[in-house]
Amino acid sequence: MPTSSAETSRNAGARAIAVLIMLFLFQTLNFFDKLVFGLSAVPMMKELALSPKDFGLIGSSFFLLFSLSGMAVGMFVVGRFPVKWLLLIMAGIWSTTQIPIFFSSSVAVLVLCRIILGAGEGPGLPTALHACYNWFPADKRSVPSAVVLQGISVGLLAGGPILTAIIVNYGWRTGFLFCGLLGMAWMLAWAVVGAEGPYAATHQPDDAASASRLLPARVLWGDPTVVGVIIMSTASYWIVGMSATWLPPFLQLGLGYRQVDVGWIISGIYLFQSPLLLGGSWLTQSLQRRGFSLRACLGHASGLALLAAGSALLLSIVTSGPLQLACVAIAFAAPSLTTIFGPVALGAVAPAAQRGRLIVVIYSANAASALVSNALTGWIVGEAGSNVPLGYAHAMTFTAGVLIAGAVSAFAMIFPERTIARFAKSAPEQASPSAVPAVST
């Protein structure tokens, strides 16, 4: 009996949910891998005789190839190969770089594994978001994006107590082994579930009309909204990228909390992040479908998230108790909202054939800020000498300034409606013989 269109639609919807769950777990695994390094900070520094500067440089080594690999994948791989296999390869790199740390006491091995891990994780989040967009239409992407990003919250929420317990009871190296084995389990499941979605560029009409919608690189990359997203996302990733490395020691050495409590505090912070991401994405998606502008739902929302984060981080330095923890939670959780709003804005304005590369390149390149933030935070803390809390206060003050600068760029530059109108005028020009040839980026 032929399959009805309704049944086909239900099957596609069920497959979309299954893929979404796997992408969620992909991000959970991603942040287990990141968090284990930060949670191992104090015992690792003691055992390997690492200074704060040394630890900061090792933390930065993770980001040495992070951006470059992400940009390379975005420019030369995404759109040319099925996203299923791209994510499978990335997870394989993650797993195989965690396990050797369990068997080695060499700083060189640790650094090398962190560098390769960073190369594998560089394209991870933007590629996962691109895979998500392949299964959902443009006006229904905010909530699925938030679900993918919930993997970050759950990774840090569950990873805090789980990895802390493993590290305290079995040693910090065992935490790395545990993460490697989790990666292998995810790979087996994704090999069965993963697939291309109905909104993938490969499923769009490949004709002259589709080709004419490609924009020249100078038009696409020089647009104020795109530039605003680049600046905003770079400022956001300054703290997102350093959170797994520096949040645990900031809580322990900068604010004076015990190591056994730090894991639970981190869980509480990212427990707060979960409803924040889901609620914020649901609200902006609902407002958008009710007629509110993309400017308000994506541009203003991003600016407010970063402004709140920067202000809260400043307050965390001068407060104490529950208020201090609330400020830390806002500072480290709110910037993740921009990881929803930024890609959704790019996906709304860019042609389908260029969307994936644009998102992957930008949200991989912005991780270069984490390379700087991890090293600079270690340098600032180290410059304070024996007054470690003061060093952390200086480092977080500087970070707050970066977040506020990102908020200004979001308020001043992100105008998606203007960009859509500008791109609509630019695309037809490519169809004429005298126009500049389109460049797929």
**Tens of each residue's pLDDT in the chain, 441 residues:** 444 445 545 556 788 889 999 999 998 988 888 788 878 878 888 888 887 778 877 877 877 787 788 788 877 877 678 888 899 999 999 889 988 888 877 788 888 988 898 888 888 888 888 888 888 876 677 788 888 878 877 777 788 788 888 988 888 889 899 999 999 999 999 998 887 777 765 544 444 344 446 788 888 888 999 999 999 999 998 998 787 678 888 888 888 888 778 878 877 887 787 788 888 888 888 888 888 888 998 999 999 999 999 999 999 988 888 898 999 999 998 998 898 898 888 888 888 777 777 887 887 777 778 778 888 888 898 888 888 889 989 999 999 999 999 999 999 999 999 998 888 887 654 443 333 333 333
Amino acid type, 99: I
List all residues 6 or more positions away from 53 whose beta carbon is below 8 Å from its beta carbon: 378, 379, 382
pLDDT score, position 11: 54
By C-alpha distance, which of 109, 41, 33 is closest to 66? 33
pLDDT score, position 441: 35
The whole-angstrom separation of Cα 271 and Cα 32 is 15
φ/ψ of residue 206, rounded to 5:
-105, 75
The whole-angstrom separation of Cα 379 and Cα 246 is 12
Helices (H) and strands (E) in the chain, counts: 21, 0
By C-alpha distance, which of 76, 376, 292, 32 is closest to 178? 32
- Cut 0.75: pTM above it: no
List all residues 6 or more positions away from 7 whose beta carbon is below 8 Å from its beta carbon: none
By C-alpha distance, which of 366, 399, 414 is closest to 229? 414
pLDDT score, position 78: 73
pLDDT score, position 213: 64
Q: Is 274 left (phi over 0), alpha (psi -120 to 50) or beta?
A: alpha
Helix (H, G, I), strand (E, B) or coil at 81: strand
pLDDT score, position 234: 92
Q: Is 286 left (phi over 0), alpha (psi -120 to 50) or beta?
A: alpha
Calculate the dihedral angle through the C-alpha atoms of 10, 16, 19, 24, rounding to the nearest 10 degrees: -120
According to CATH, the topology of domain 11-195+213-429 is: Growth Hormone; Chain: A; (1.20.1250)
By C-alpha distance, which of 427, 437, 409 is closest to 226? 409
User: Could you tell me the end-to-end alpha-carbon distance of the chain, in angstroms, rounded to an integer?
Assistant: 44
Helix (H) or strand (E) run with residue 21 in it:
helix 5-39
pLDDT score, position 201: 59
- E-assigned strand segments in 95-162: none
* Tokens found for residue 362: 């930008």
The whole-angstrom separation of Cα 144 and Cα 20 is 7
Handedness of CA 84, 86, 87, 93 (dihedral sign): positive
Amino acid type, 171: G
Evaluate whether 312 touches 404 at the Cβ level (below 8 Å).
no
Domain boundaries, the chain: 11-195+213-429
By C-alpha distance, which of 257, 115, 101 is closest to 172? 101
